[in-house]
Structure 1
């Protein structure tokens, strides 16, 4: 009989109705497919069972996290090649990604006569039809309704309380976990992150003695930069106990405890306004559609008249039917539980519905692809230590999540936008300069 790789390739091409664009290397050491392409390494039969029991992205993700699948060659190239087959379904159920999931489901159920031969062969290759248990890193149980204070804190803890040392390995000295702002593609990550923080400070027009609230402050980089470089009094809030402890130490080490306060607090619990400016950098993705109007209204109420909000947020492409939007299964189960993305137009509309005046929108999608590639390089450089600090599965989650996200930004599946919004006073004087892009320098 032919090797497992050739048999798997033949099954895949029957399912797709087209040649498979990557090589396959199977557990029996057989290889099939284009010789110059990256290889999908199928380490065992369990990988096939995962695809049969969870056709599509979740089955692939579970196999990757468990170590049943791997990529040989350029991970970014492999993910780019596979993107249209697995992820880019959009609203078209007959797009390749939709066909793959539907065909695998049909293979398992033997429901389509034209795929019956492929189905039987797949089942023979997969072995006993027992659903494998999900990897331990998967979020399985969640408590209470979506986006309550308790459930949001649990979701944040899953993602951020992985260990500060792990994040140091990935993020580097800047300890900024959001899209950098690259002066050139060959700049350092630290230079690009500093430029991003300074860009936000300039957009907010920060002045000495003003009060700044940083919502989702992470490890304190924004409040430290704003206090040190612009002389503001800053409050940073996070739901992660580990982040808060780390940020407080950084503040103390910098001698800024009189200017900077770090709290473990939800944005809905902040009652000590008004603030002159608010930054929300990579936090609003956790808010959710049902809570976004409340989020916008709460931040509006916390600002002085004329105060500015800089909302830095990942956005997705709009759908013709927004009710058809589904959260990415891999991201929801392994990375950001309960995270939701919205199109930038909806974000701007909801901010304005809350009373803000949107004064500037800057799309920096390509900057996030560069940032993620730098984080992946950091992780790969420190791979053994990252595995020791967490687990092989958790490190694999992060490598796949960041690499796949980089490809998604590069292919314009998702973007990231900085929205500058003002609580414009009744006088109509926003305080924004006539030429709004003066902060570009």
Structure 2
């Protein structure tokens, strides 16, 4: 055993980076750690027991097999690192959020920088890790057909949502709500915070002003918003989804809530909605699946269904300038194939172009970070059961995706906005309250 230090570390490395180990791994560990970790205080441990990093690390990133490096060399950047994590070639002990912060710049450097990759390749050669990588984990999605066609949309929605309702129940908790909660009180339970979010949406849509309003919930998930609106505001609700498992579970939940006379759940694409009238429409976590090329059609379809003075609320994840989830990313291959995040300004413009006068925009960014951390905690608490339900690789996909998303909402790389619009009547009357006091809720 020996202690190796670098007097002049590679660019971005921790000065005098201590390595404990022996053999070729010890000599290769310093440049490898410099490439993968930069100056972030976490420990890197290789499969032979060699480790590099501070003694007071908040987490340890373990490379359990040479396959981890092979995957990164053949798919430099985020996708290679993600494949290694999903396959179990890389593990994290300790603070997963800190590990993600450490690896994000490394993924960017490997993907776009010529300086980082040669150091990794050289380390891999010294470690005997050069060679073709194993096949990608089978959980990767590779959808076919025209992007955002009805058939392809059904395929990618099924990839994400039809993994088993029991698994979602473990992660989401009893609310079965798969969108940002609203922690009006930081001490709120996740279940109460989801009810608070649903209540805010209902009041923004004016459901409290007149019992019996007709609500369309697009992308209704497991029916939680529909059930809340019917139970608390006597709304008559139509919920639509293209996930068969969600549809079947939502119908059962409606029956169990004794609300079948007020809530109809349909297995239906939004593009097939026509010839009906609604007083209000909620779209919660749906438009991310629509894509920018079709967002004008989406809002035009929905606004045409609204009665005069009808309101539309769009609740969606956003990013500055917008971002298309690429096919060479972790999110694009494993989580949300074909997903796209719009700039909130593009959402506002598209809604107004479709005839909806935008009256309110609200960010819930910090609330989504809290929501995701609670989902991760639920998954980790019930890890063995989750693995029994969906297998270790898919469980690892979810742990990584939710933790990485929490980091994105923490640092502002991601946001989530509620945009409220109204279709005024022929005389320009909107029926909107003069102030936000009309939808204030605890």
Q: Which residue of 1 aligns with 2:126?
A: 124
Distance 1:281 1:327 in 2: 24
Q: Which residue of 2 aligns with 1:35?
A: 55
Distance 1:52 1:158 in 2: 27
Q: Which residue of 2 aligns with 1:209?
A: 212
C-alpha deviation, 1:255, in angstroms: 1.4
Provide Cα deviations, 1:80-139, integer angstroms capped at 9, x if missing partner.
3333443xxxxxxxxxx24664337852xxxxxxx5xx6333223253411321001111
Cα pair 1:370 1:406 within 8 Å, conserved? yes
Distance 2:397 2:365 in 1: 22
Does residue 26 (structure 1) correspond to residue 46 (structure 2)? The answer is yes
Q: For structure 1, list consecutive stretches of 5 or more residues without a partner in the other structure.
A: 87-96, 108-114
C-alpha deviation, 1:77, in angstroms: 2.0
The alignment of Structure 1 onto Structure 2 pairs a total of residues equal to 417
Distance 1:159 1:166 in 2: 12
Q: Which residue of 2 aligns with 1:137?
A: 139
**Superposed structure 1 runs of 4+ greater than 4 Å apart:** 15-18, 324-328
Alpha carbons of structure 1 residues 158 and 305: separation in structure 2 relative to 1, 3 Å: same
Q: Which residue of 1 aligns with 2:396?
A: 396
Distance 1:430 1:45 in 2: 63
Q: Which residue of 1 aligns with 2:236?
A: 233
Alpha carbons of structure 1 residues 406 and 204: separation in structure 2 relative to 1, 3 Å: same
Q: Report the TM-score when normalising by structure 2.
A: 0.90
Does residue 377 (structure 1) correspond to residue 380 (structure 2)? The answer is no
Cα pair 1:40 1:72 within 8 Å, conserved? yes
Provide Cα deviations, 1:21-62, integer angstroms capped at 9, x if missing partner.
421011111211122221111000000000000000000000
Q: Which residue of 1 aligns with 2:165?
A: 164
C-alpha deviation, 1:72, in angstroms: 1.1
C-alpha deviation, 1:429, in angstroms: 1.4
Q: Which residue of 1 aligns with 2:114?
A: 103
Cα pair 2:239 2:265 within 8 Å, conserved? yes
Distance 2:369 2:39 in 1: 29
Provide Cα deviations, 1:59-78, integer angstroms capped at 9, x if missing partner.
00000000000111111122
Cα pair 1:52 1:104 within 8 Å, conserved? no
Aligned counterpart for 1:7 among listed residues 20, 23, 28: 28
| C-alpha RMSD of matched pairs (Å) | 2.0
Q: Which residue of 1 aligns with 2:350?
A: 350
Cα pair 1:9 1:24 within 8 Å, conserved? no
Cα pair 2:181 2:194 within 8 Å, conserved? yes
Alpha carbons of structure 1 residues 26 and 251: separation in structure 2 relative to 1, 3 Å: same
Q: Which residue of 2 aligns with 1:180?
A: 181
Q: Which residue of 2 aligns with 1:318?
A: 321
Alpha carbons of structure 1 residues 308 and 60: separation in structure 2 relative to 1, 3 Å: same
Cα pair 1:64 1:70 within 8 Å, conserved? yes
